[in-house]
């Protein structure tokens, strides 16, 4: 689930902070990298838990209305589709989710008002109105309801984004990516899998974890060589005045190009050029593209790299 885009971002951030404070050794950087990626994975479970908490908030709302001094007919006989939603019940009983939350407890308790407000927005929507009027319930309809709710009320929710960014500094750059993986998980759920439904693993495979550690190692251990390459290809610039983040991004990019024969140079270059648009200056993309292109041509000419 932790894709290489997130890994690249995290490594650029870690290398940047390492240059600000060189009191850390490589082993410490490894731990910091893996801890940051683990926090990204925590967010995935936190978002799955949010859907359960919204349902619990509705259950509490129904119970409160039933216990009113003078309950109405609607209070006594509420629509139970949201409470009986088969997808949510399956998610709530998911063994993998239960184990993870036992091992790494997390809660929406501190954001109870947000959960209740979100519930009210959902209940007032056409998505809920249409769902609540359906006479025949089906697992697919229940799952589709939550897919629509997540896409329309949770994904790209600015209030939620602010909450998550306040919860963890590691989540500032992860939210949109992890939300897309949560939507993917909803689509992948199968009624037949029951409580054994597989959730997404932290890493898609061992190669992605290996990629993260190897990229970090090579970026730091070969820093002098990569810095010399950058300096030799920026002779028209005052090296000391180049944006520091641009230097970091190029250093990590060169480490990837130099180290991983199975990743085309164009893929690596494009990834770091895109990354620079969010983490450096408006002109960084064009500058980094030109420098990296020149460095790649030199490496090919000197037979240092042979890939396309």
User: Residue 48: pLDDT above 90?
Assistant: yes
Q: Is 102 left (phi over 0), alpha (psi -120 to 50) or beta?
A: alpha
User: Residue 240: pLDDT above 70?
Assistant: no
Burial group, residue 123, by CB count within 10 angstroms (0-12, 13-18, 19+): middle
Give the model's confidence band at 75: pLDDT under 50 very low, under 70 low, under 90 confident, else very high: low
13-27 pLDDT per residue, tens: 999 999 888 767 899
Q: What angle do CA 26, 28, 34 make, to 5 degrees?
A: 105
Take residue 274 and report the two structure tokens written for it: 């895109």
HEC assignment per residue over the chain? CCCHHHHHHHHHHHHHHHHHCCCCCHHHHHHHHHHHHHHHHHHHHHHHHHHHHHHHHHHHHHHHHHCCCCCCHHHHCCCCCCCCCHHHHHHHCCHHHHHHHHHCCCCCHHHHHHHHHHHHHHHCCHHHHHHHHCCCCCHHHHHHHHHHHHHHHHCCCHHHHHHHHHHCHHHCCCHHHHHHHHHHHHHHCCHHHHHHCCCCCCCCCHHHHHHHHHHHHHHHHCHHHHHHHHHHCCCCCCHHHCCHHHHHHHHHHHHHHHHCCCCCHHHHHHHHHHHHHHHCCCCHHHHHHHHHHHHHHHHHHCCCCCCC
135-175 pLDDT per residue, tens: 878 999 999 999 999 999 999 999 999 999 999 999 988 99
113-132 pLDDT per residue, tens: 999 999 999 999 999 999 99
**Helices 4-20 and 206-221 meet at what angle, rounded to 10?**
30
User: Residue 100: pLDDT above 80?
Assistant: yes
Kindly report which listed range (66-80, 97-111, 226-240) carries the lowest average pLDDT score: 66-80
End-to-end CA, the chain: 27
Cβ contacts of 235 within 8 Å, gap of 6 or more: none
Instruction: In whole angstroms, give the CA distance from residue 122 to residue 85.
Output: 15
Give the model's confidence band at 180: pLDDT under 50 very low, under 70 low, under 90 confident, else very high: very high
Of 93, 55, 99, 101, nearest to 194 by C-alpha is 93
Q: What is the rounded average pLDDT of the residues 178-200?
A: 97
Cβ contacts of 189 within 8 Å, gap of 6 or more: 87, 90, 91, 143, 197
Give the model's confidence band at 239: pLDDT under 50 very low, under 70 low, under 90 confident, else very high: low
Kindly report which listed range (121-125, 198-202, 296-300) carries the lowest average pLDDT score: 296-300
User: Residue 207: pLDDT above 80?
Assistant: yes
Instruction: In whole angstroms, give the CA distance from residue 123 to residue 79.
Output: 11
**For position 20, what pLDDT does the model report?**
86
Of 24, 55, 45, nearest to 167 by C-alpha is 45
**For position 67, what pLDDT does the model report?**
81
Cβ contacts of 127 within 8 Å, gap of 6 or more: 145, 148, 149, 152
Cβ contacts of 104 within 8 Å, gap of 6 or more: 42, 45
Which comes out higher in pLDDT, residue 192 or 241? 192
User: Residue 308: pLDDT above 70?
Assistant: no
Instruction: In whole angstroms, give the CA distance from residue 265 to residue 80.
Output: 55
This prediction has a pTM of: 0.91
Contact 258, 304 (CB under 8 A): yes
Among the ranges 59-68, 71-80, 192-201, 278-287, which has the highest mean pLDDT value?
A: 192-201
**For position 74, what pLDDT does the model report?**
77
Domains and CATH numbers, the chain: 29-196 (no CATH), 222-301 (1.10.940.10)
User: Residue 184: pLDDT above 90?
Assistant: yes
């Amino acid at each position: 689930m932790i894709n290489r885009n997130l890994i690249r971002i995290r490594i650029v951030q870690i290398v940047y902070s390492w240059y600000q404070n060189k009191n850390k050794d490589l082993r410490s950087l490894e731990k910091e990298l893996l801890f940051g990626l683990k926090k990204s994975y925590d967010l995935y479970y936190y978002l799955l838990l949010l859907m359960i908490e919204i349902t619990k908030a509705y259950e509490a709302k129904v119970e409160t209305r039933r216990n009113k001094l003078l309950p109405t007919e609607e209070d006594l006989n509420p629509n139970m589709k949201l409470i009986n939603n088969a997808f949510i019940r399956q998610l709530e009983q998911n063994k993998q989710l239960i184990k993870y939350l036992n091992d790494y407890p997390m809660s929406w308790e501190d954001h109870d008002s947000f959960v209740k407000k979100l519930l009210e927005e959902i209940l007032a929507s056409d998505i809920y109105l249409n769902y609540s009027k359906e006479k025949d319930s089906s697992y697919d309809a229940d799952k589709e309801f939550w897919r629509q709710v997540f896409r329309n009320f949770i994904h790209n929710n600015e209030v939620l984004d602010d909450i998550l960014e306040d919860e963890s500094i590691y989540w500032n750059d992860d939210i949109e990516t992890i939300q897309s993986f949560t939507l993917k998980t909803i689509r992948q759920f199968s009624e037949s899998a029951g409580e054994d439904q597989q959730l997404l693993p932290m890493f898609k495979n061992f190669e992605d974890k290996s990629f993260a550690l190897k990229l970090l190692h090579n970026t730091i251990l070969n820093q002098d060589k990569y810095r010399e390459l950058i300096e030799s290809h920026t002779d028209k610039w005052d090296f000391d005045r180049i944006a520091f983040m641009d230097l970091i991004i190029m250093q990590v990019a060169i480490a990837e190009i130099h180290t991983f024969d199975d990743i085309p140079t164009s893929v690596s270059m494009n990834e770091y050029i895109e990354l620079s648009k969010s983490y450096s200056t408006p002109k960084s993309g064009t500058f980094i593209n030109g420098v990296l292109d020149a460095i790649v041509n030199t490496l090919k000419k000197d037979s240092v790299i042979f890939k396309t």
